[in-house]
């Protein structure tokens, strides 16, 4: 018989996906996957408002995806959950494959203009 997943687990799964479901947060995580960075650097690399970056970083920290370290005036963040990289790689790979398929379809459509039919 099928195993029913309790609501609480589904909610926790959904929360992780939801946390990754925003392009700005993905950009921030992408920056942080390159190593620990200060908020200022992340702001520069993402081109986003500092207040906004700060809020997203807080959200990511609360979700346990990122770790915070204060040093003088600056605050540094790193990716703390290996899941982030796995999930992003999987999804990004899929999208690139989809894009390649689109290109291929396009190629065929282009070709079809060159022959009768």
The 3 state secondary structure assigned to the chain is CCCCCCHHHHHHHHHHHHHHCCHHHHHHHHHHHCCCEEHHHHHHHHCCCHHHHHHHHHHHHHCCCEEEEEECCEEEEEECCHHHHHHHHHHHHHHHHHHHHHHHHHHHHHHHCCCCC
CB under 5 to 8 A by kind: which of a second copy, DNA, none does 7 bind? a second copy
103 makes contact with a second copy (CB under 8 A): no
- Among the listed residues 49, 52, 74, 86, the single contact to a second copy using CB under 8 A: 86
Site for DNA in 37-96 (CB under 7 A): 38-40, 43, 48-59, 68, 70, 72-75
Site for DNA in 19-48 (CB under 7 A): 22-25, 38-40, 43, 48
The answer to whether 75 and 38 are in contact (CB under 8 A) is yes
83 makes contact with a second copy (CB under 8 A): yes
- Among the listed residues 13, 78, 101, 103, the single contact to a second copy using CB under 8 A: 13
Residues that bind DNA (CB under 7 A): 18, 22-25, 38-40, 43, 48-59, 68, 70, 72-75
């Amino acid at each position: 018989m099928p195993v029913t997943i309790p609501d609480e687990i589904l909610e926790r799964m959904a929360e992780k996906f939801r946390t990754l479901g925003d392009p700005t947060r993905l950009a921030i995580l992408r920056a942080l996957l390159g190593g620990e960075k200060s908020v200022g650097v992340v702001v520069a690399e993402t081109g986003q408002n500092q207040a906004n970056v700060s809020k997203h970083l807080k959200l990511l920290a609360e979700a346990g995806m990122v770790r915070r370290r204060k040093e003088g005036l600056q605050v540094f963040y790193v990716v703390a959950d290996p899941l982030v990289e796995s999930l992003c790689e999987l999804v990004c790979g899929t999208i690139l494959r989809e894009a390649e398929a689109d290109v291929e379809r396009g190629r065929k459509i282009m070709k079809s203009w060159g022959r009768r039919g």
